[in-house]
Structure 1
């Protein structure tokens, strides 16, 4: 019975890591879009800096894609992260998680 309980705990932990990665990607994209929308002439730099700032180290090192751009009155950000397998920072799952966000342009 103990091996089944351990296996169940590992599966639950992996599910928690997947959910946390989705949350991190969405939050980083939201913060980046907001920073890009309120920045003056350095929108892309502010946006990309905000992506890096709002991610823990293990996820910051596994960023696959980060894009920031203005489109039809909105400033959009997209962040693609790798999901860690059991221990963040060691081994990543091959399927990325993507976070999207958009904020109205200001100034």
Structure 2
């Protein structure tokens, strides 16, 4: 019975990491879109810095796409790899994507 309980706990922990990665990607995209939309100069640079700023070290290195999101909008997409059991040691195959858009100011 103990191996089944351990297997269940490992599966639950992996699901928690998947959800946490999604939360991080969504928050990073939101921060990047807001910074890029509010910037008066280098919108892409502001977006990249803001999106990468709050990510933990184990989740850094994902791709950040910033750009025009349509008339009057600035868009950010953040793609992060889901870690396997221990963040920063192994990355799993799936990639989680967070998307956000913000109104361009100025």
TM-score, length basis structure 2: 0.96
Aligned length: 105
SS at match of 1:93: strand
1:5 aligns with 2:29: no
Give the aligned partner of residue 38 of structure 2: 38
Q: CA RMSD in A?
A: 0.8
Give the aligned partner of residue 87 of structure 1: 86
Runs of 4+ aligned structure 1 residues displaced above 2 Å come to none
Report how far residue 33 of structure 1 moved: 0.1
Supply the distance in 2 between the matched residues of 1:41 and 1:51 (Cα, whole angstroms).
17
Q: Deviations over 1:37-81 (max 9, x none)?
A: 1111111100000111021100013x1x21111231100000000
Give the aligned partner of residue 66 of structure 1: 64
Give the aligned partner of residue 54 of structure 2: 54
Listed as ranges, the gaps of 5+ residues in structure 2 are none
Give the aligned partner of residue 22 of structure 2: 22
Listed as ranges, the gaps of 5+ residues in structure 1 are none
